[in-house]
């Protein structure tokens, strides 16, 4: 039977503050996304067992990508083709989150204010399949750059809450009271937050309080994770804590690209962060940017034999 929930932690603030501020490990994922590295790049990341699932935009195609890295850290590339909206291709999947055996992915068009939030069964991470229920959430008047999901018990009923974020606008949806995925989501409330979050993930306390972590890169280039208490009774989001984390900037790893939350147990949260692009190891990222490296050797990325790599940093208290 598929798992439809993540662990609920003890005290959210204590577990958040226990996350090491410096990355504790780094791996390299090998893949060939076959996209340009100027406009297209990594968008979100999750870990499921020995697998990593990475969303990747492809602004010159009609679909974004999901990179599926197995235990060998070699990734296959799967197009994430979802129906267009008003003729606009949803080729920009964003910050995503795993809940049990299911992956939540927001999609948006690059130049139009339309989006879709979809759910995938990743019980076998090598063969993700989009669900028809819950029905995807289609938005014809706004984008969706990041989405998060968590379940809490309210008056004896288990509900799944979904957060959809874009450019400061936060929308909170709630399931209909049936167990995920045999449920549907409806909008509960909307709030305005600061602009700049690339991923926004949810988690719950054992007390059945709902929390969110927004990942951003601030104006000084610092990687910040902001912990919010989401008050369901008053429909408010309260900023609890903001922490500066230190990724491997020499590999251009930042929360600005792919960032994600790995809920490991009732006592541990881990943070994931990625580099911007998949590049040859021999091409150093110049000045913290991949663009200089590409300009230095504009044709080398087209060679099919190249083993392109992207780093993933983990911030955790356990290996």
- Residue 146 is assigned to a structural domain of this protein: yes
- Residue 129 is assigned to a structural domain of this protein: yes
Span 290-317, average pLDDT: 64
- Residue 35 is assigned to a structural domain of this protein: yes
Coil, helix or strand at residue 90: coil
Q: For the segment 100-110, what is each residue's pLDDT rounded down to a tens digit?
A: 999 999 999 99
The pLDDT > 70 percentage for the chain reads 92
Domain that holds residue 42: 12-315
The mean predicted confidence, pLDDT, of the chain is 92
Cα–Cα distance between 80 and 96 in angstroms, integer? Answer: 13
- Residue 83 is assigned to a structural domain of this protein: yes
Sign of the torsion formed by the C-alpha atoms of 135, 136, 142 and 144: positive
Q: For the segment 164-181, what is each residue's pLDDT rounded down to a tens digit?
A: 999 999 999 999 999 999
- Residue 85 is assigned to a structural domain of this protein: yes
CA atoms within 13 A on the CB side of 43: 27
- Residue 282 is assigned to a structural domain of this protein: yes
Span 268-272, average pLDDT: 98
CATH number at residue 109: 2.120.10
In total, how many domains does the chain have? 1
- Residue 1 is assigned to a structural domain of this protein: no
């Amino acid at each position: 039977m598929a798992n439809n929930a993540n662990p609920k932690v003890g005290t959210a603030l204590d577990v958040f503050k226990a996350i090491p501020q410096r990355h504790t490990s780094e791996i390299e994922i090998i893949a060939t996304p076959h996209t340009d590295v100027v406009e297209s790049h990594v968008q979100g990341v999750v870990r499921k067992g020995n697998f990593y699932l990475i969303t990747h935009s492809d602004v010159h195609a009609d679909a974004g990508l999901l990179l599926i890295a197995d235990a060998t850290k070699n990734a296959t590339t799967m197009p994430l083709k979802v129906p267009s909206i008003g003729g606009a291709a949803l080729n920009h999947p964003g910050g995503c989150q795993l809940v049990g055996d299911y992956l939540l992915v927001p999609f948006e068009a690059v130049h139009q204010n339309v989006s879709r939030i979809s759910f995938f069964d990743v019980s076998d991470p090598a063969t993700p399949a989009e669900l028809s229920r819950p029905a995807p959430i289609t938005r014809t008047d706004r984008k969706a750059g990041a989405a998060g999901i968590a379940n809490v018990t309210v008056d004896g009923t288990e509900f799944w809450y979904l957060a959809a974020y874009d450019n400061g606008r936060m929308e909170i949806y709630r399931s209909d009271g049936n167990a995920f995925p045999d449920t549907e989501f409806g909008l509960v409330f909307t709030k305005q937050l600061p602009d700049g979050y690339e991923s926004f993930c949810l988690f719950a306390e054992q007390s059945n309080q709902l929390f969110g972590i927004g990942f951003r890169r601030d104006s000084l280039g610092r990687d910040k994770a902001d912990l919010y208490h989401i008050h369901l009774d008053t429909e408010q989001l309260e900023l609890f804590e903001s922490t500066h984390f230190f990724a491997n900037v020499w590999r251009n790893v930042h929360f600005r690209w792919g960032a994600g939350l790995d809920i490991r147990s009732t006592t541990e949260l881990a943070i994931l962060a990625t580099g911007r692009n998949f590049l040859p190891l021999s091409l150093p990222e110049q000045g913290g940017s991949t663009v200089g490296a590409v300009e230095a050797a504009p044709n080398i990325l087209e060679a099919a034999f190249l083993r392109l790599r992207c780093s993933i940093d983990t911030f955790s208290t356990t290996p």
